[in-house]
A and B are shown apart, each in its own frame.
Chain A
Amino acid sequence: MAVWRYDGTFSGFLTLCAELVTRREEPEGIIFGESLQAELFRSTVDVENNDARAEKMLGAIAARISPESCRTLWCAFQSRKEGVELLLWRYLQFGRVTGAKCDRFLAHPAVAPVHKLALSVGHEAHTVRGIVRFQETAGGQWYAAVEPAYQILELIAPHFAARCADMNWLIHDVRRNLAVAWNGSEWRLTTFDAQGVPPLSANEATWSALWRSYFAAVAIPQRANGRLQQQHLPKRFRKYLTESV
């Protein structure tokens, strides 16, 4: 058995899986990038990303297991939890045996952890759809900074593309130096490492001030419950909220 290495992309991971299937091999571990682990093991197999092969693999998963399981796979992958690749590989192996029934084994050790990861990534995306705060830039564009726990920009982009179709917006994942940007007709994931907030439009301060005073007024003092508020709004979100800066 060997440790297998890929380039860190989802497509790269799928290529790796396809290669494992072809060679009928079981990996000892799946890693990406430079790592001590790779040096410690004598044999590391490097797999180069191949988009066409990845695409084919995804098609095969959709056919053999189900289209939903492709989505589950992708969501769980985005968690980037250490060791997630091996979990996903085992899930796929289990799916090859059980076929379309795979996702009914909700309590099975090959399935449960993958569902759990996918669910928590989906949940993070849902929350972020609400807490994104756009600011209008001097150039008439809309900028938002977020620090989600997972890499979920691609999960939220379609939502804002539909909703804010008439705005040129950009959502910046500050920690990962990534952004999704919408130009009025399509969205794109790009690397983005600009620092700080771009210059804002003259109106921006007025509207954000109005929002802050509105926000302060909606809480009923006799029902104050700071603990509950904090529970819903983790710190990583509060940093960029108009109402809490």
Chain B
Amino acid sequence: MDTTTMTLEEKIRILAESARYDVSCSSSGSSRSNTKGGIGNAASSGICHSWSADGHCVSLLKILLTNICIYDCAYCLNRRSNDIRRVALTPEEVAELTINFYRRNYIEGLFLSTGVVRNPDYTMELLIRTVRTLREEHRFNGYIHLKLVPGADPLLVEQAGRMVDRVSINLELPTRGSLALLAPDKSREAILLPMRQVSGLITARRDQGRNAPPFVPAGQSTQVIIGATPDSDFRIMTISEQLYQRMGLKRVYYSAYVPVAGDPRLPALIATPLLAREHRLYQADWLLRFYGFRADELLDAGSPDLDQELDPKTGWALRHRQLFPVEVNRAEYEVLLRVPGIGVRSAKRIVRARRVQRLRREELAKLGVVMKRARYFLTADGAGSEGTDLSPERLKELLLPGKKRRSDSGQLSLFPPDPRDLSGITGEL
């Protein structure tokens, strides 16, 4: 392969194109301060620096060290059997690029991933060398998200975790069976083992108290591909729930499968990525993490897939009309969170404001409640909604988003929310 004659610009383009299918761009949840003579810090709230043409927040320099790969995952552009140009950057080149982009405030940090070269350990060592160059030679204190290589030695995993803010290893496919079919070189164990190890080290670090050296302060995340296999939403949400509860993951990302080149193992029918489905999964995920819902409240074996027309919280509320309306001046915070049109932020405001003031309907809109939806599910100082005796069908009709909104043509106005974007989405659910 001929990687030397290519310009840096071409290499960056190719390696960025290969890295873009990893959704995560989060730069939040860490806090790392600058050191004397150093450059950079990590802001705990996360910062978007731009928005790409697909509407995604650009926060990190998201790039592969190389797209050379010894594996053959069916859904991946870089798979061994795919006939594409192979290029590689040196750890020094990536470090230099990161620093120069960072100084210009193009980015919040680096998200580094790679194809597997020679073997997992060798690859992991290359990643570590890049991070070390940044941290030690350039004294870079900005955000680093590092991808772990499945099958890498636990010692290397631990070493990496000491230097970066976040690590991730992608689950890729929800079940063992689909993984074996589409990613024959990666075993489920090779993915779960480092995840478990990192989770254990994070807990251990927490028990050591405040002054212990940091270990992935922004936690770990993972990604699941949607639509490449017939797995149901219920299956996916159940797995996410377990990852949050048992492994303490910070985020599970869902990535609608984008056909990157025909492979006989994949469904041939997906012409456009399943963006609407992906969007609903993000909403359901949000409900698990911030709204106290369980996966089996939202879905079950009888209805294993999320409603594409209604958001999952409204869907839940419609199935549980006997629990409504709730009185906003009395209901517990947890109950308020379950009212469609009330988000985390507005629920908190309600709880705060009602201690000093009895809330009437006029006040609720000022607190950020989306009355258009919430009115059917609450009373404020006894005043309920006009027409509480609506039939379920009529109510569902009223709650459907307006016709002008395009459905799954890829033009959803609401995109997978970013964690820092709490305000943007909480009102929506």
State the A residues within 8 Å of B (CB).
98, 101, 104-108, 112, 126-127, 129-136, 142, 144, 159, 162-167, 203, 207-211, 213-229, 231-233, 241-243
Contacts and interface: CB of A to CB of B under 8 A. Distances in A.
B104 A165 contact: no
Contacts of B53: 216, 219, 224-226, 229
B105 A214 contact: no
Contact of B357 (A107, A132, A215): A107
- Chain B: interface residue count, which band? 35 or more
A220 B12 contact: no
B301 interface: no
A219 B43 contact: no
A231 B414 CA distance: 11
Nearest to B348: A106
Nearest to B23: A220
A128 to B, nearest CB: 10
A220 B56 CA distance: 9
A223 B410 contact: yes
B13 interface: yes
B9 interface: yes
Given A223-B273, A228-B413, A214 B21 contact: no
A203 B12 CA distance: 17
B16 A214 contact: yes
Given A104-B355, A225-B415, A207 B410 contact: no
Interface stretch (B95-103, B123-131, B310-318, B384-392): B95-103
B21 A163 contact: no
SS of B interface (majority)? loop
29 contacts: A104-B353, A104-B357, A105-B353, A106-B352, A126-B45, A126-B47, A127-B48, A129-B43, A130-B50, A133-B105, A142-B103, A162-B33, A164-B103, A167-B39, A216-B53, A219-B20, A220-B20, A221-B54, A223-B258, A223-B273, A224-B53, A224-B410, A226-B53, A228-B55, A228-B412, A229-B52, A231-B413, A232-B51, A232-B57
A136 B39 CA distance: 15
A142 B97 CA distance: 17
B9 A209 contact: yes
Contacts of B97: 210
Contact of B353 (A107, A132, A165): A107
B106 A211 contact: yes
B171 to A, nearest CB: 20
Interface stretch (B162-170, B292-300, B359-367): B359-367
Nearest to B278: A223
Nearest to B420: A126
A220 B21 contact: yes
Contacts of A98: 356
B356 A104 contact: yes
Contact of B54 (A131, A135, A167, A224): A224
